Amino acid sequence: MVVSKEPKRVPNDIQVSKILVHPIKSCRGTSLQSCRYSPEGLEHDRRFCIIKADSHQVITAREVAKMVLITPRIEMDEKSPHGGVLSVSFPEESGCESFSVPLYPIEDNWGRLNDIGLWGHEVDGFVCENQNPKGRSPSTILSEYFERPVHLTVKGNKPRPCDPTDSFPGLKATTLYQDGYPLLVLSEESIDVLHEEIRSRVGIQGISDQWSKQEFVIERFRPNIVLRGAGPFAEDDFEEISIGLDDDSEKTGEKQLGILLVSKCVRCLLPNVCPDTGVRDKAVPYKVLMKFRIGMDPQNKMKPCVGCNGVPLGSGMIKVGDSVNVRRIIAA
């Protein structure tokens, strides 16, 4: 990729407006005011996933939309040998009881898997056991909710390499149970443009009248870092940004975290699922995005893209309100 020596002009007042962590892949996210990060992403983001008990394939809300109604919650405890617990709760009408599992288990005590299937890759993990051995197991409770045998798993310590991209063919990065890369970065002004596009098409292409008033929330795209002040889809032009303090900042006194934006995020039908109801819309936003957001990914020219996949270059802390510096911009 050619990087411009004279970068395009970008706003100088870009900030982090939201930080979203999804402890269990495809389940409800948590909005945080601050969060630690590592080269594998935000702390606790997609460390857990739910798999089919027989094939060990990861299940997502693309397949089971009501996954978005499961609420995982991180409860830190410095005195615990496990660092705390992951608590999991369900909609009341499901009849499924809440449970909790150790946040950082003693791995030898749990069953290890090396063949968890995720987008053509085999990933490692451990089948989670109940924090309260007298209660029903996580597998039993989740299997009741999914109406099929499933397991909750936590990522093991075997690195999962990220695929190289057209922009970064020599990419050396690892991730957990994210779709492909540690972070997803998205500008909140993009949603204003999407609203306009949706409302201009109400009554056609299967877009129902409800969208003349209903708000489309950015959480449907399941980003990790939301930017404000950059402008609609501004991240399309960014190659490297910096946010927050890295672990060496006390020595340098400077904000140094770099995030490489390695590719556009190709979208599927998951954003059609309402995070409040678990119901999948027949048209919004996918059909709308197909009208103005295709042709951006060289390998998927007929699929729409929203947001950019990111890889942190270090470890540290970010918080809502942090300023965002655009270090490198893609040449026109």
pLDDT at 109: 63
Residue pair 307/185 in contact (Cβ under 8 Å)? The answer is yes
Task: Give the per-residue pLDDT at 11.
Answer: 79
256 to each of 48, 135, 253, how far by Cα in Å? 29, 46, 9
On the CB side of 185, CA atoms within 13 Å amount to: 33
Both tokens assigned to 321: 């309100």
pLDDT value at position 1? 38
**Mean pLDDT per 10-residue interval, the chain, length 332 residues:** 49 93 98 96 98 98 97 93 94 96 78 93 91 84 98 96 96 97 98 96 95 96 98 97 75 70 97 97 97 94 97 94 94 68
How far is 332 from 326, CA to CA, in rounded Å? 16
Give CA separation, 225 vs 182, 327, 331, in Å.
11, 17, 24
Residues paired with residue 318 on neighbouring β-strands, in sequence order: 35
Structure tokens at 48: 């857990």
Pairing verdict, β 183-187 and 225-228: parallel
**Whole-structure pTM value:** 0.93
Question: Residue 251's pLDDT is what?
Answer: 56
What pLDDT is stored for residue 131 in this prediction? 67
Return the pLDDT at 6. Answer: 45
Q: Which residues contact 163 (CB under 8 A, 6 or more apart)?
A: 171, 180
Distance of alpha carbon 24 from its chain centroid, rounded? 10
pLDDT number for residue 130: 74
Instruction: Report pLDDT for 2.
Output: 38
Distance CA 301, CA 266 (A): 9
What is the full DSSP assignment across 204-233? Answer: STT--GGGGT----GGGG--SEEEESS-TT
The CA R_g of the chain, rounded to the nearest whole Å, is: 20
Amino acid identity for residue 148 in this structure: R
Question: Cα(224)–Cα(232) distance, rounded to whole angstroms?
Answer: 17
